[in-house]
Each structure stands twice: as C-alpha cells, then as structure tokens.
C-alpha cells in the first residue's frame, strides 16, 4: 500500500470523511472529481543551442468557487497524478480556512538546478503563454503561486508575461501571487506558510486538555522539535517556533543527512553554516545521524515534516516517536500511516490545515491587487492619531506621563505586514477550533483532525453547490 498513487491517498481521506456526512453520493462524487487537466508540451532552446521538449501540467480541481488557486512546482518527478492530488488538496485547504477559491495546481517536469536563469525564464514564460492560450490563468479564472522549485522570481515572470498578453486586463497583477513586493506582492507572503504552521501549533498546544492526553504541558515553551526540510516552510516554521514560541529545535533533516543536538540548534546559525558549507552535517555541537530518515524517528515532542509527500508511510510509522506532527509539506503522511498514528495517540495537524498559511496570505495579495491599494495606506495615520488622543486622555486622567518612546510604540498604526500577520493568525485560530469541534462531535477517538478537516471542507463545498442550483 505504500506505492498507492497520491490521488488515491487523497481520495481515501476524502472517502473516510464523506462516509460521516449526509450528502448524496452523487454530490460527493462531484466534489471529489477533478474538473479539468491541461497537459502541454513545448520546445525550448538551451544555452548550448540544443532543443529540448518540456512537459507541463495544470489541474483545476473544483470550480465551485472561482478563481481556482494553487502553486506551480518545478521538479523532475512532476506527473499528472501528483498535480491532480495537489489540486484536490488545495480545494479542501481553501474551504477549511474560508478562502474563496477552488483548488488548482501546476507543475513542469524539470530539475530547476540544471538550467540557467535564462533557460528557466524562457520555460516559465512559454508555460504561461500556454496557460493563457487555454484559459488556465487569469485573476478571475486561475491564479498560480510558487511551490517546490519556484519562487517570487518565477511569479514575476508569469505576471509580466500575462500582462503583455492581456494588456486590457486592469487587474492583471492578480493573475499570480507571491510576487516580489515592488511588482504587486504583499509583505509577509514569503514566510506565510511557515508562520501559519507556527500559529497552528501554538493554538493546538494551547489546549491544556489535549496536551494532558499527550503527557505534555500546555504551550510551546520548551517543547522539543525536529524539522524535516529546511526550505522556505521548514526554515520559517523553525524560526518562529524558536524565537516566538520558545520551543527547542533539537533535530533537522535535509537531503544530505540529519543531525541531532539535544541542547538545541540555533536556527539562524544553522542556516548560515549550511550556506557556507553546503551541508547541515558536522554542525558544531550536533551529532550526525547514520541516515537522514532517522531524523523523522527521533524522540521529540513535535515533528514538522516540511519536505515532499510520503515521508511517513507504514514502513516507518511504527518508529515515529513524536507526540505531535504538524504537516508543513503536502501529503507527507500516507493515509494508512495517518490512521495508524492516530490510533497510536499521536496528534497530527493535517497538511490541509497546517500549511494553509501560504494560500491565506496569497488571498490577501489577490485582494490587494484587485483593490489597487496597499493594506494600511488608508488607515495607518488615522489610527496613530486616534491612539495618541486616547493616550493623552489616559495621561490627563491618571497624571502619569508616557515617554516619547512609549508614545511612539503604543500609538503606532499598523503596517501592511502587521495586518497580514493579524489576518493569518485569526484565520489559523478559527480554522483549528472549527475542525477540533467537528472532531469532538464525532468522537476524537474515532475521528482524527484530518478526517474532521475533510468533513469541514466537504460540508462547505456542498453548500456552494446547493447555492449554485446544481443540486436540490
């Protein structure tokens, strides 16, 4: 069962949840199906003059809400099944965090590290052209974002290409998210997925009843954490867990190996060490493990798998010693392994919830692009003046004077990043308690948070189909 396709794994999780709902089977089948898949091939000229045929995919899973939303990854293992599975997860993810998008995903089958910047730009721009030609991109149709192997640079190329092909679209910058800030991006997007994971863990660990069941105290302070994958998501999750949560990062895993340091790793120092040496191995004060997969099996309170799918399967699930797993990657735990871990008493924060910070802040960026105004621009100074008036009233009433520094700090109006982080925090807190309530209603020994999150998504999507008049 470890070799089951990614799409079938997602659908297994869906079916487990669907069986606990009262929706008609035909409606459930419609929700589960992918709406459409585009497979394109096109030639590019390499820097050495040779011609190479490139394969790319874009799947739009659900049109119950538009636009659809999901990343584009560059990886040598990209295939249609993977893209469909990830698009499906995006549909459920958006529903769980109440972001008004359908799910989509894209991928180009290349090893980005083996191409020059110029070649990557030609590939990205040509893929965008193919998406435009087939109506698979646009602010009101389908809005990509980064994923594995892509980032703000590629998103800027996509936005520029789309704008050139659709100059009449006044909202053209909204065709893609996670762009560089000067090109229509938003403050806080780069770290959003990791920060969202931090908020998810912080909220889960704040529930004393649940922590007691795990033999842990409430809060993140002092909890021992292992991070698998120090890319954008894993790095930021580790950084916020350490700096804002007071957790201790005792282990880290990357493709070159895994390390353990019981007294705690300094995240920024570890990242600097890796930049200088090309590896996390031999980090001062840490022990190298015999094999990188051992990093997943370390004795810890929290494990954050933040690399690729199927890191935890029935082959290694019995050796997992973490008490809490927060899925920073998409599909890092197989369906069977997830069910096994729940029976074992492990609290698993599922990917469709735990890594939804990226799409949440992408939603904020999309809103910014459609409104054509930076968040905070209208209200920042007004709020500062209002806060100063309140503080002056407090001074008058109490006879106590605030220092100039205190006045500045207390009266400060919100910057765009403050508003983004506040919106993300609110989203993650509400979503967690919503799925936890569903779990409790169905019996937390029988239903895990993954199943509860799917129930939540299915119920919300079913209502949308009802409103559209597709079903009575």
Residue 52: predicted pLDDT: 97
Residue 112: predicted pLDDT: 95
224-228/248-254 β-pairing: parallel
Work out the percent of the chain whose per-residue pLDDT is above 90: 90
**301 domain-assigned:** yes
Q: End of a domain among 159, 183, 207?
A: 183
Residue 444: predicted pLDDT: 75
* 165-188 pLDDT tens trace: 999 999 999 999 999 999 999 999
Residue 5: predicted pLDDT: 85
From the list 105, 179, 323, 368, the catalytic residue is 105
Domain count, the chain: 2
Q: What are phi and psi of 199, to 5 degrees?
A: -60, -40
Residue 470: predicted pLDDT: 62
* 440-451 pLDDT tens trace: 999 877 899 999
Q: What is the spatial distance between Cα 389 and Cα 395, in angstroms, rounded to a whole number? A: 10
**379 domain-assigned:** no
3-state secondary structure of 408: helix
Known catalytic residue at 179: no
3-state secondary structure of 105: strand
Are 143 and 213 found together in one domain? no
pLDDT band at residue 1 under the 50/70/90 scheme: very low
Residue 471: predicted pLDDT: 59
* 236-262 pLDDT tens trace: 999 999 999 999 999 999 999 999 999
The yes-or-no verdict on residue 282 having pLDDT over 90 is yes
CATH label of the domain that carries residue 46:
3.40.50.10860
Q: End of a domain among 183, 206, 226?
A: 183
**340 domain-assigned:** yes
Q: Indicate the average pLDDT of the chain.
A: 94
Are 201 and 176 found together in one domain? no
Average pLDDT score over residue span 370-383: 92
**353 domain-assigned:** yes
Nearest to 112 by CA among 103, 104, 102, 122: 122
The yes-or-no verdict on residue 467 having pLDDT over 70 is no
Average pLDDT score over residue span 344-359: 96
The yes-or-no verdict on residue 284 having pLDDT over 60 is yes
* 380-423 pLDDT tens trace: 999 999 999 999 999 999 998 999 898 899 999 999 999 999 99
Residue 49: predicted pLDDT: 96
Are 272 and 171 found together in one domain? no
Average pLDDT score over residue span 113-128: 97
For the entire predicted model, the pTM comes to: 0.93
Are 42 and 177 found together in one domain? yes
Lowest mean pLDDT among 63-67, 192-196, 408-412: 408-412
Residue 3: predicted pLDDT: 61
pLDDT band at residue 308 under the 50/70/90 scheme: confident
Other beta carbons within 10 Å of 405? 8
Other beta carbons within 10 Å of 468? 11
Pick left, alpha or beta for residue 469 (phi over 0 → left; psi -120 to 50 → alpha; otherwise beta).
Answer: left
pLDDT band at residue 472 under the 50/70/90 scheme: low
Are 210 and 170 found together in one domain? no
Running DSSP on this structure, what letter comes out for residue 293?
G
CATH label of the domain that carries residue 270:
3.40.50.720
Query: In which domain, by residue range, is 82 found?
Result: 34-183
Are 349 and 444 found together in one domain? yes
Q: End of a domain among 165, 183, 201?
A: 183
Residue 269: predicted pLDDT: 96
């Amino acid at each position: 069962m470890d070799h089951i396709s990614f799409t079938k794994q997602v659908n297994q999780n869906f079916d487990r949840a669907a069986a606990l709902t009262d929706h008609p089977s035909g409606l459930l089948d419609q929700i589960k199906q992918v709406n459409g898949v585009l497979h394109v091939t096109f030639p590019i000229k390499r820097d050495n003059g040779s011609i190479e045929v490139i394969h790319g995919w874009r799947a739009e899973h659900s049109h119950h809400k538009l636009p659809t939303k999901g990343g584009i990854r560059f990886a040598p293992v990209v295939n249609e099944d993977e893209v469909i599975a990830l698009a499906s997860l995006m549909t459920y993810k958006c529903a769980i965090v109440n972001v008004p998008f359908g799910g989509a995903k894209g991928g180009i089958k290349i090893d980005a590290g083996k191409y020059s910047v110029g070649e990557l730009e030609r590939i990205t721009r040509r893929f965008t052209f193919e998406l435009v030609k087939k109506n698979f991109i646009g602010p009101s149709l389908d809005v990509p974002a980064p994923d594995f192997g892509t980032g703000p640079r590629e998103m800027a190329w996509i936005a520029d290409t789309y704008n050139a092909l659709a100059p009449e679209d006044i909202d053209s910058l909204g065709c893609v998210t996670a762009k560089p800030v000067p090109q229509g991006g938003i403050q806080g997007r780069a770290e959003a997925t990791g920060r969202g994971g931090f908020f998810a863990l912080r909220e889960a660990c704040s529930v004393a009843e649940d922590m007691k069941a795990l033999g842990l105290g409430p809060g993140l302070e002092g909890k021992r954490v292992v991070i698998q994958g120090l890319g954008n998501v894993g790095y930021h999750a580790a950084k916020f867990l350490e700096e804002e949560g007071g957790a201790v990062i005792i282990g880290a895993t990357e493709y070159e190996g895994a390390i353990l340091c019981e007294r705690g790793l300094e995240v920024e120092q570890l990242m600097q060490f890796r930049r200088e040496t090309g590896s996390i191995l031999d980090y001062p004060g840490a022990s190298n493990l015999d094999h990188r997969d051992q990093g997943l099996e370390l004795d810890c309170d929290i494990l954050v798998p933040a690399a690729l799918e199927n890191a935890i399967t029935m082959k290694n699930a019995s050796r997992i010693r973490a008490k809490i797993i927060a899925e920073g990657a998409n599909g890092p735990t197989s369906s069977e392994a997830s069910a096994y871990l729940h029976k074992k008493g492990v609290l698993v924060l599922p990917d469709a919830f735990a890594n939804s910070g990226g799409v949440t802040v992408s939603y904020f960026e999309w809103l910014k692009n459609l409104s054509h105004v930076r968040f905070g621009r209208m209200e920042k100074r007004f709020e500062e003046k209002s806060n100063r008036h309140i503080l002056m009233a407090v001074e008058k009433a109490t006879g106590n004077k605030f220092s100039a520094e205190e006045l500045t700090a207390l009266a400060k109006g919100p910057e765009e990043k403050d508003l983004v982080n506040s919106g993300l925090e609110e989203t993650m807190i509400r979503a967690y308690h919503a799925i936890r309530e569903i779990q409790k209603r169905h019996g937390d020994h029988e239903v895990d948070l993954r199943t509860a999150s799917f129930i939540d998504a299915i119920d919300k999507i079913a209502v949308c189909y009802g409103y559209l008049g597709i079903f009575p």
